[in-house]
A and B are shown apart, each in its own frame.
Chain A
């Protein structure tokens, strides 16, 4: 095949990829502007309107369609995601730091940690429910679910930090020690500022994975639902475009999160590049 053919093939493949990635989202976004309350979640668009967005916030006159029961779920999911993010990142950073030196059994421990992201979520969720039942522990989103979210997201944070430390030049730390700086202070004042881009990535992973986690949460969360469960619950009655409107908003929220991450990252990377330049010259 000639070079042009390859290029054409790759372009086609890339387009296909993008269509599959964003197609559903675009359809969802279009349908969210369906008129209400009589318009349904299907084409054609009867009339363009922002009715369902207003409906979400209770700004429409009462109708037969109940508001989405997601407000509490949203708060729970955000709180849970933040809790998970903090705990997983702290665990990820500290354990990756421990793995910088080989210790007895480090290979086994490594696989045990990584297993947390490998095992099927439904099984772990079910297992957690059984264990909780047997031990007489109540299932809550802030208890059993939280533990599962940490077990699931911690390996991601751990792997990100492992990669960061892999490229970290330890002589900067040794330089600090040799100046009389204690190891604890060296970590806070020298190591941490330099690994901060990695910490950001670990936080992003932990937050987003926890925020839309479904399968583990399904069995382990008990009575109070998280956002993904609450949305799933609305499907069992009747689907209205208000779910789509909410989907658009929450996607925008994710983009905002990514944007913040990108800004912070580019600041850190600029600094990291300076470090690289320093090493090269």
Chain B
């Protein structure tokens, strides 16, 4: 079986010697929705531009449907690109913009018009088809760009932060539309973003990148609950991270000694086994932490229930914003922990700021990652 897109050890070194991307491996199935996620300058856009053909690939191979594409010019690749600033042709009407890719292919007029009409209807652009893009709203222009990119029926649609220039409400709406469109058409989408909410909401798999390297490739939920690397742990979600050293490790659970006691979580090492005493991070998602009143009576029961994952803390902040309660706590070693839950769980006044509290979590909801 061939993949729609394969990146095999792909790297990019600029002429001045700076490395933009290195050792990028990825295989994408047909119809998958992949997000490249990472902070700015992590190489995600460069990788997308290498797939599109706007940047040269300096090492490794890039294949689309099993055909090597490294030396193929962009206009001969079966990809379309959607740009953050839309990059519409300002001197053409919406219809001309959308149909331009078919014009240059020399497609018969009747067939071309039918296709253009269909995609214009799909994206709801009928009313503005004869206008020029200049006075249209960001959302409309975004849809025009999508129509223009999709009408040429690419194998892969490349989207470079396509929602970045839209306001929050519109972004949400187009996000849903985009997902629906992708499922309907079955086109493979590669989507570059620095907003994790977008990546988590849209994609089948997320490629987290940092400093030109792939940190983790996982479905959104797994990325969220089972980070592979310390970078992913601090970049995705709102995690509390305890640094420590491995005390014991079975196949599943690892216990690590930290400055606030011995704590445990699921062991997550990609291949490399643990060394007793080796450094490791315990990653606890904000949603996994339970808060209890700091009374001695409950202590033993809680310790047993959470397999020893119990730490003392002082509540330093308690705010309710809308339907979410935000709690902040200081641990004995000075580390700050923040967590949040639905307001029904921690109602205002349940804990007094400044009082002692106990924090706990299930080992199965936390992850231990070995660190260098």
Contact = CB atoms under 8 A, between A and B. Distances in A.
B81 A271 contact: no
B146 to A, nearest CB: 12
Contacts of A171: 83, 85, 87
15 contacts: A172-B89, A174-B81, A177-B53, A177-B74, A177-B75, A178-B53, A179-B75, A180-B76, A180-B152, A181-B101, A183-B73, A271-B90, A274-B135, A275-B90, A278-B88
Given A178-B81, A278-B134, 7 more contacts: A171-B85, A175-B87, A175-B145, A180-B104, A277-B135, A278-B141, A281-B165
B9 to A, nearest CB: 25
Contacts of A182: 75, 104
B80 interface: yes
Contacts of B80: 178-179
Nearest to B158: A178
A194 B91 contact: yes
Interface of B: 52-54, 73-77, 79-81, 83, 85-91, 100-101, 104-105, 132-135, 137-138, 141, 145, 148-149, 152, 158, 165
A47 interface: no
Interface string A183-207: 1010000100110000000000000
A277 B86 CA distance: 12
A183 B104 CA distance: 12
Nearest to B89: A190
Contacts of A190: 89
A38 interface: no
A78 interface: no
Interface string A110-130: 000000000000000000000
A64 to B, nearest CB: 60
Given A174-B74, A174-B87, A278-B133, A181 B104 contact: yes
Given A185-B104, A274-B132, A179 B83 contact: no
Nearest to B132: A274
Contacts of B87: 169, 171-172, 174-175
B90 A278 contact: yes
Nearest to A172: B87
A176 B54 CA distance: 12
Contact of A175 (B83, B135, B165): B83
A275 B336 CA distance: 48
Contacts of A172: 87-89
A238 interface: no
A180 B91 contact: no
A179 B104 contact: yes
Nearest to B54: A174
Interface residues of A, number: 24
A281 B138 contact: yes
A186 B133 CA distance: 19
Contacts of A181: 75, 100-101, 104
A185 B101 CA distance: 12
Contact of B91 (A169, A183, A185, A271): A271
Given A174-B83, A175-B83, A180 B133 contact: no
A183 B74 CA distance: 10
Of listed A171, A182, A281, residue having the most chain B CB within 10 A: A281
Nearest to B82: A175
B85 A179 contact: no
A274 B134 contact: yes
Contacts of B77: 178
B81 A175 contact: yes
Interface string A262-281: 00000000010011011101
A175 B83 CA distance: 8
Nearest to B88: A278
Nearest to B105: A180
A171 B104 CA distance: 18
A177 B137 contact: no
A178 B90 contact: no
Given A177-B73, A179-B148, A181-B100, A275 B134 contact: yes
Contact of A193 (B74, B75, B91, B137): B91
Nearest to A193: B91
A261 to B, nearest CB: 20
Contacts of B158: 178
B74 A178 contact: yes
A176 B141 CA distance: 16
B91 A178 contact: no
Contacts of B135: 274, 277
A277 B100 CA distance: 22
Given A174-B54, A180-B75, A279 B91 contact: no
A278 B54 contact: no
Nearest to A102: B15
Contacts of A177: 53-54, 73-75
Contacts of B148: 175, 179
B52 A178 contact: yes
